Amino acid sequence: MGLKDIGSKLPPGFRFHPSDEELVCHYLCNKIRAKSDHGDVEDDDVDEALKGASDLVEIDLHICEPWQLPDVAKLNAKEWYFFSFRDRKYATGYRTNRATVSGYWKATGKDRTVMDPRTSQLVGMRKTLVFYRNRAPNGIKTTWIMHEFRLECPNMPPKVLDYYPNNNISSLFHTANHY
């Protein structure tokens, strides 16, 4: 069952609109735990972790343009959520490749911390990106904005984080439609 199916079954007035903390603590953390094949997670924990995390689709941001993502994310809303991965610009480097065929995502501002509401510990970071058409430095700024979340969880077994270092969850919205 995808998010579109869930959204169609919600009563009027309800919508899928997770907080930053829910995106990191529930969806991203559980997705990475569920993908772990190191034996660090019990089978029951994997089943529990997969609940909800599997409702978000995985996409490759380098293939999809921002205006294609609402259809790919399978949710009728003004904001879309999906899993993605960070691609490295160079095989041996740390810079992230955020280019698409028709433009690129550019980070703006400082990364914001995401804290676990129960423990007040750092669990993740949120990066804000804006989509530009064409190529830098002549890019044309658009109204597409994405929040990219990454895990910074000290409670996660190190082997799991080392094995899945490039997993992200993203929230995308078009400011012309966002209120």
Write phi, then psi, for 50 (nearest 5 degrees). Answer: -70, -20
Question: Which amino acid is residue 33, in one-letter code?
Answer: R
Q: Where exactly are the structural domains of the chain?
A: 3-62+69-174
pLDDT in tens, 109-165: 999 999 999 999 999 999 999 999 999 999 999 999 999 998 886 666 554 444 445
- Sign of the alpha-carbon dihedral angle for 95, 100, 102, 104: negative
* CATH top class, domain 3-62+69-174: mainly beta
pLDDT digit string, tens, across residues 20-68? 999 988 888 887 777 654 444 444 444 444 444 556 788 888 788 999 8
CB contact burial 78-111 (16+ within 10 A = b; e otherwise): ebbbbbbebeeeeeeeeebebebeebbbeeeeee
